[in-house]
Amino acid sequence: MKIREVMKRVVVVEKDLSLREAGKIMAERGIGSLVLIKNDKIAGIATERDVVENISELGKKISEITRKTIITIDEDETLEKAGELMAKHKIKRLPVLKKGKLVGIITATDIIDKVDDLNEEFFFD
């Protein structure tokens, strides 16, 4: 199964929000992350965990807590490949690209939801 069949709409922010603002957006939209965009490029990902870990400093900006090394995946890759990347890099979210442009996001939960569609070898290699 291809990433494009499973990916979700990604919520992006271009303004360097405070953690308080970022947390509020995540809570209101029921999402676990925001992707920070600067100059049409991914500048970082802020997750709910990042916000919780920095709860004592809610005035901090998301650019201060986002992961700078961003692992991405192409929309034509497989769910197996996404799972491998997540496991290798110990992450739960992958921004999805189409021709180098951000078009969505896939999470570990998205993969788990499609477990019946995955190749059995993926789990028992």
pLDDT confidence of residue 58 = 79
Where does residue 41 fall: left (phi above 0), alpha (psi -120 to 50 degrees), or beta otherwise? Answer: beta
| Mean pLDDT within 107-112 | 92
Query: pLDDT (tens digit, 9 = 90+) per residue, 68-81?
Result: 789 999 999 999 99
Mean pLDDT is lowest, of 13-27, 32-46, 86-100, 110-124, for: 110-124
How much of the chain, in percent, has pLDDT values that exceed 70? 93
Q: Quick one: pLDDT band at residue 108, thresholds 50, 70, 90?
A: very high
Tens digit of each residue's pLDDT (9 = 90 or more) over 30-61: 999 999 999 889 999 999 999 999 989 878 99
Q: Supply φ then ψ for residue 15, to 5 degrees.
A: -90, 140
Say yes or no: domain 3-124 is CATH 1.10.3720.10: no
Where in the chain are the domains? 3-124
pTM: 0.86
Q: Which contacts qualify for 62-68: CB closer than 8 Å, 24 or more apart?
A: 62/13, 62/16, 62/17, 62/18, 62/19, 62/22, 62/34, 62/36, 63/16, 63/36, 65/19, 66/36, 67/91, 68/43, 68/44
